[in-house]
Structure 1
Amino acid sequence: MKNTLSPSFSRRSFIKTSALAGGGMLIGFNLFQACKPEAKPPVDISQLNFNDFNAFIKIADNGMVTIFSPNPEIGQGVKTSMPMIIAEELDVSWDNVHVVQGALDTKNFTRQVAGGSQSIRFGWESLRQTGATARQMLINAAAAKWGVDASSCKTENGTIINANGDKLSYGEVVKEAAALEVPENVTLKDPKDFNIIGTDASNVDIDKIITGKPLFGLDYKEEGMAYAVVLRPPAFGKKLESYDDAATKAISGVQDVVRFGDKVAVLAKDTWTAMKGKKALEATWTSDSKLENTEAHDKILTDLLNGKEFKTMRADGDVKKAFAAADQVIERTYESPFLPHNCMEPMNFFADVTEEKVRLVGPIQTPAGTARRVAELLEREAEDVSVEMTRMGGGFGRRLYGDFALEAAEISKLAKRPVKVVYSREDDMTAGIYRPSIKYRISASVKDGKITGYHLKEASINSNMYGLIPNFFPAGAIENYQVDVAAYDSKITTGAWRAPYTNFLSFAEQSFFDELAEILEVDRIKLRLDLLQKVKGTTDERIQYSPERLENVIKVAVEKSGWGNAKEGVYQGFSAYYCHNTHVAEVAEVELENDVPVVKKVTCIVDCGIVVNPLGAKNQIEGGVIDGVGHAMYGDLSFKDGEPQSKNFDKYRLIRINETPIVETHFIENGLSPTGLGEPTLPPAGAAVANAIKAAKGIRLYKQPFIKHMKAKAPLG
């Protein structure tokens, strides 16, 4: 069935409305170099005569199409998938499409942000409408040229065809089409007629990535630019009292030393020289009377859980009454450490601050917000600040904050020259911003073998805005249900980390439900499905998940994983979760090697609606699962006197390539609009692994990382 839209807006407003797709398309690439390093485009695009259709599309007079990507590309693949959506509705050959990175443009684009797994979801209808509207304008121009009714014409791979079989390429009518009024009615394709959406497309930058072409922030350079490396306080709570830069300035190639706040920047001709200069600085630091430690945090969070200063996020029924009347109350506490982001590409940014303008270039997830903060810092007008985006070697939430861009801007202003701030790995791991340490306490009341009450408490380091989601499962499934949060304000800077809110909560809740099933002596799958039955047909608009869709992924996971029928020596663990608008179920398979649990395979069922680019989607799913497994098993960051105790990969444990499980992915095909994909497969992974480890070793885990706490319970190997 075709979908007809009646936008009824002017050409100018169409540009603005289509920009709602600003959930993003991303970064520049040359499709014709994607397969063969020496392949060349069929034409020199720079010499083509282009006509603009809107903020997203340019069509040349030879029919070549350029699609602008306004949002940041952090490896989530939207630079490929979002242009695919436009190209589908525009009805052009994907081989004739070029994608170009757009700069920050708040007039034509909205939501130029990479975060929350929302780009495709927010952009779906607007991107389709963008392509379909341009296609209709081209049809209208061709119909006028032929003197026929536009409804008698169709398109195919960049060509308009009339009822007589006459053909005109898009390039032959593009000038006339660009001058037309925006059509009142636009017909979108029926999904069954998609030719591009739903097919595998390679990452549009893949050739440049693997051959080392300059794409990333670390690649960016300009003549006359200085490299800046920054000395920052060695611990949270320390301040710079004084410094001696004599030895630093004596190093050949060091160009300047600049203090700003409690930091000192060394500017040099190259990064290595700047790093040597930083190492030669002699600094004196003053400390707060009380610097924070991981052991102290443990007690602080426990005291918060035991205290009464909570904010209630949701309260259904009467939890206290249900608990008082219960035959049994089960209570468990789950603990997680701080985690750094550890993007493959450390933080970096270029800034050139002059009297006339402020020019910023680099990898950033929030270009508009960063531009605004830089303008405020420098006391400049917002229009003075421009941001050009490079591809990012990972973001995971760390590049939402832009503190490194502010550093670059401030140093450039003080030094009166263009600079590029570059972090070392040690800088990257010790400067913040971290996933906060959190404790969850979950309690359930049982009466006559049934769950009658559920109380979830969160105690978090810093703001609990990164904690609980009160309207996710099991909200609505249990009559007496309450969610409370409390936080301790720390000097340690924290923020969003991949799958914020849910990356640890999913482990806590799904582990708890597994243990409840054991205590109640009921099947763990049936327990979840029975709870979901109570949510079906709900009129509670606060409930964000679909019980039907969550039920379906659970049932498919049972089928596809061979749940309960694993061969001898293979132990399975189950988890199902909803976040970022997507429903996921996972089954982990663990084997014991020298009595140490090893995750061999994860079967992952994903309901994310229509899959635009299956190849890219599988990459996201597999990456999320492996990330979830790795951090649940090994990730740990502690503090002593305000100082991070892991500063590089010699002490911080990441999952290794020989430890990565096989990830078997299955999509639910339901024809519904796309939802998030970059993050939803990470949260369920930890619980699936923990539940499999319980099956393998009889150890019920309540703390991450698992390897550390299993060793504390019993020797491994």
Structure 2
Amino acid sequence: MQTTTTHTGRRDFLKWSAFTAGGLVLGFKWSDADAQTATVFTQALADANVAMNHYLTIGTDGIVTIFSPNPELGQNIMTSFPMIVADELDADWKKVKVVQAPLDNRFDRQLTGGSGAVPHSWPLLRKAGATARFMLIAAAAQRWGVPASECTTEEGFVLHKASGKKLGYGELAEEAAKIPVPATVTLKDKKDFKLIGTAVKNVANKDILTGKPLYGLDFYREGMLYAMIQRPPAFGTKVKSFDAAAAKAIPGIIDVVQVKNGVAVVGKSTWQVMKAKKALKITYENSGNIESTADHDKIFADLLNNGKATVRRKDGDVATAFKDAAKVIKAEYQCPFIPHNPLEPMNFFAHVKGDSVELVGPCQIPGGARTAVSKMLNIPEDKITLELTRLGGGFGRRLYNDYVTEAAEVSSLVKAPVKVIWSREDDMTGGTYRPAVRYRFEAALDAGGNMIGYKLRGVGINSGNPTRESNFPAGAVDNLLIDSVEHQSPITTGAWRAPITNFLAYAEQAFIDEVAQTAGKDPIQFRLELFEKAKAKPVGQLNYNVNRMIDVTKRAAERSGWGTKKGVIQGFSVYFSHRSYVAQVAEVVMEKGKPAIKKIFAVADCGQVINLGGAQQQVMGAIVDGMGHAMFGKLSFKEGAAEQSNFHNYRLIRMREIPEIDLFFVDSGFDPTGLGEPALPPTGGAIANAIYKATGKRIYQQPFLDSEVFSGSGKKTF
């Protein structure tokens, strides 16, 4: 398997797009199998490489080049997408090359976020491969003078078994390109998949391991300048004035300019601009509210009790259910802000050239980035090109385009190509965070231990609706009220891996365990009773499939040996998010008086698995991420400024703390659903429930490390 990624070939790819859209055929000339640059030229049929559709080309040498349109940030999309095309095409995977496509409107939903890339593109990718296969078969049948229905394909060949004739895709490429494109094609039966569902190595592994320039931080253009921006250290403040004399005196510094959100230092090297940035003398003034974490605690408490709530869902007669209840259980859960902390901090290259702009770098939503730059500079979008590099992580942070517009703004001011780079401290103290949230849960039980009433109020910061009102237990409770209150804060917040559900799932699943205990029922059995009720007589609209929820729950219980083991304590959690279902059982043991997480069982139903190896990495990575942030992650504020600035005072999970993970994928027969995020939400709940059973103490806040279980404080911190 050979792979080629391209940075400098972007403009030529766009030429290819334009010509093929107009009906001409273009060729690709690969100067070197391991080259970093693909040279594209408009010589018709040159080197006999032909474009079958905008997802792929086939050369006379049989090499199939597949373009991967969505941003690659470690979710394995650059391998999974081409696998889908190649399987429908019946290509020989050893002769497939993968290229990161630049921003191109024809690809549709060219973004990475919400675990939606594969579910959205699954039918499009299959059709692209099947269309090319149809055209190759038609070309072969035409040459042989036989019905196309008598021809089959296999590993890059078209075969006519009746006559024993066989032609490689490369031999047919020119003729196939002249076949009219069919309006509809027949897709494979899933039982005939050869690549899909198997474990295929990431196509970029070799380049990553050998340090090839793949990431935004690697990108370099001869003559470009570097820039770093000193942003206001506290949210709610802005630049009043600045003195750049000392910064400009440092060798290599070209200019210092004020931008919308700070002061930019521009120079010839990152070291020079980092040094000059520290030499800036800036005076700030208030631009709005200045908030501290202590303020948020008080705001949450007040809004829970007195806030004007927006009703998100109301089923039945909630007031009567609670009035007549035999028992009522109440609990509150709270989480702090947390940063995204991708390994690669924010960076982007921009070259504003009067009436056009060239952009290069890592972003999750390139179309949005282009639109933002267009609006800021008043330059039409068709005059702006954007080339994607590989992303060194994103987790939602690169859905926001502030660092892209910063690069374009600086370039427009200094009239030169500029690469803006954020330091780790910039990233952590001036970023876009998961919002802090507090939930209040209430449940009403009848005399038989059945949940007859349920209430949830969520209070979030800049979060819109911090609830998922049509998720479980909606549909399983006759009388249900879910509402929310929002606080607007100057602290920038946004999507963080599995938005909202990353904390809501823990809070909900921990609370459900507490309700089950009060009802005197096994936690899993209690949930199954609720699922069966939702299945038999659902109340209102549901987002989730009850049967799939039941299936992963039962499988996780069986696989983990729920309730049958000695020497370990188990906790359970199950959650639906991003169209997928994941149940988890966490196992803990007591070591030196503290609970230690030793193993997590996970059962996932994400529909059709594309790349088994990549899927395993996605789920295991999400579990580690979920555990690490539930246990340790916390960003606090004092007078508007983040108190944690780097990994010396922001705790991450460590390698020795990662438990063993047992993972099973359910073959449910559904098309692919989300996978990048769904395994994260249930992790915190499974761990918290196991910790309670081990210690008798419930955890009502994140990070768990601050709770009385680990801190010994004996009281909540909010």
- Give the drift of 1:134: 1.1
2:645 to 629, 640, 647: 647
- C-alpha change, 1:450 and 1:291, in structure 2 (3 Å) is same
Equivalent in the alignment of 1:457: 457
Alpha-carbon separation, structure 2, partners of 1:228 and 1:659: 38
Equivalent in the alignment of 2:476: 477
Runs of 4+ more than 3 Å apart: 43-48, 537-541, 711-716
SS in 2 for 1:503: helix
Q: Letter of the aligned partner of 1:53 in structure 2?
A: M
> In percent, how many aligned pairs have the same letter?
49
Q: Letter of the aligned partner of 1:614 in structure 2?
A: L
SS in 2 for 1:199: coil
Kept in 1, the 8 Å contact 2:583–2:603? The answer is yes
Task: Output the TM-score relative to the length of structure 1.
Answer: 0.92
Kept in 2, the 8 Å contact 1:301–1:461? The answer is no
> RMSD of the alignment, in Å?
2.1
Deviations 1:423-463 (A, max 9, x none): 10000001120000000111111122211111111000113
- Give the drift of 1:713: 4.5
- Give the drift of 1:597: 1.8
- Give the drift of 1:45: 9.9
Alpha-carbon separation, structure 2, partners of 1:170 and 1:538: 55
Q: Letter of the aligned partner of 2:107 in structure 1?
A: F
Deviations 1:591-631 (A, max 9, x none): 22222222111110001111111100000000000000000
Q: Letter of the aligned partner of 1:188 in structure 2?
A: L
- After the TM superposition, which of the residue ranges 114-123 and 308-317 deviates more from structure 2? 308-317
Kept in 1, the 8 Å contact 2:438–2:459? The answer is yes
Equivalent in the alignment of 2:59: 60
* Count of residues paired in the alignment: 681
- Give the drift of 1:539: 7.0
SS in 2 for 1:514: helix
Alpha-carbon separation, structure 2, partners of 1:195 and 1:239: 58
Equivalent in the alignment of 1:408: 407
Deviations 1:191-227 (A, max 9, x none): 2221111111111111111111100000001011111
Kept in 2, the 8 Å contact 1:233–1:240? The answer is yes
Deviations 1:156-200 (A, max 9, x none): 111111121101111112112112122355222122221111111
Kept in 2, the 8 Å contact 1:438–1:459? The answer is yes
Kept in 1, the 8 Å contact 2:476–2:539? The answer is no
Kept in 1, the 8 Å contact 2:476–2:538? The answer is no
- C-alpha change, 1:308 and 1:67, in structure 2 (3 Å) is same
Equivalent in the alignment of 2:243: 244
Kept in 1, the 8 Å contact 2:141–2:151? The answer is yes
Equivalent in the alignment of 2:678: 680
Deviations 1:292-336 (A, max 9, x none): 010110111111111251111111112112111212211111000
Q: Letter of the aligned partner of 2:619 in structure 1?
A: I
Equivalent in the alignment of 1:689: 687
2:617 to 603, 616, 619: 619
SS in 2 for 1:255: strand
The answer to whether residue 509 in structure 2 is matched with residue 510 in structure 1 is yes
- After the TM superposition, which of the residue ranges 401-410 and 309-318 deviates more from structure 2? 309-318
Equivalent in the alignment of 2:599: 601
- Give the drift of 1:475: 0.9
Alpha-carbon separation, structure 1, partners of 2:324 and 2:643: 47
Alpha-carbon separation, structure 1, partners of 2:124 and 2:538: 29
SS in 2 for 1:53: strand
SS in 1 for 2:186: strand
2:146 to 145, 148, 153: 148
Alpha-carbon separation, structure 2, partners of 1:533 and 1:675: 23
- Give the drift of 1:522: 0.8
The answer to whether residue 322 in structure 2 is matched with residue 328 in structure 1 is no
Deviations 1:462-493 (A, max 9, x none): 1324x211111111000111210110000000
- Give the drift of 1:353: 0.3
Alpha-carbon separation, structure 2, partners of 1:443 and 1:539: 20
SS in 1 for 2:596: strand
Deviations 1:627-654 (A, max 9, x none): 0000000000100000000000111000
Kept in 1, the 8 Å contact 2:48–2:174? The answer is no
- After the TM superposition, which of the residue ranges 43-52 and 203-212 deviates more from structure 2? 43-52
Alpha-carbon separation, structure 1, partners of 2:537 and 2:93: 43
Alpha-carbon separation, structure 2, partners of 1:40 and 1:302: 59
Q: Letter of the aligned partner of 2:564 in structure 1?
A: N
- C-alpha change, 1:637 and 1:185, in structure 2 (3 Å) is closer
Alpha-carbon separation, structure 2, partners of 1:192 and 1:289: 60
- Give the drift of 1:149: 0.5
Equivalent in the alignment of 1:707: 705
Deviations 1:33-88 (A, max 9, x none): 8xxxxx899x9999843211111010111211000111101111111011100000
Equivalent in the alignment of 1:519: 518
Kept in 1, the 8 Å contact 2:315–2:540? The answer is no
Kept in 2, the 8 Å contact 1:191–1:671? The answer is no
SS in 2 for 1:522: coil
- Give the drift of 1:287: 2.4
Kept in 1, the 8 Å contact 2:359–2:384? The answer is yes
Equivalent in the alignment of 1:433: 432
Kept in 1, the 8 Å contact 2:355–2:379? The answer is no
1:177-196 alignment runs, 5 A limit: 177-196=176-195
- C-alpha change, 1:102 and 1:289, in structure 2 (3 Å) is closer
SS in 2 for 1:463: coil
Task: Output the TM-score relative to the length of structure 2.
Answer: 0.92
- After the TM superposition, which of the residue ranges 304-313 and 599-608 deviates more from structure 2? 304-313
Equivalent in the alignment of 2:7: none
Equivalent in the alignment of 2:583: 585
Q: Letter of the aligned partner of 2:517 in structure 1?
A: E
1:202-241 alignment runs, 5 A limit: 202-241=201-240
Equivalent in the alignment of 1:447: 446
Alpha-carbon separation, structure 1, partners of 2:395 and 2:39: 36
Unaligned stretches of 5+ in structure 2?
1-16, 22-27
The answer to whether residue 116 in structure 2 is matched with residue 118 in structure 1 is yes
Alpha-carbon separation, structure 2, partners of 1:246 and 1:596: 55
SS in 2 for 1:421: strand
- C-alpha change, 1:288 and 1:373, in structure 2 (3 Å) is closer
Equivalent in the alignment of 1:166: 165
Alpha-carbon separation, structure 2, partners of 1:261 and 1:51: 47
Q: Letter of the aligned partner of 1:365 in structure 2?
A: Q
Kept in 1, the 8 Å contact 2:607–2:668? The answer is yes
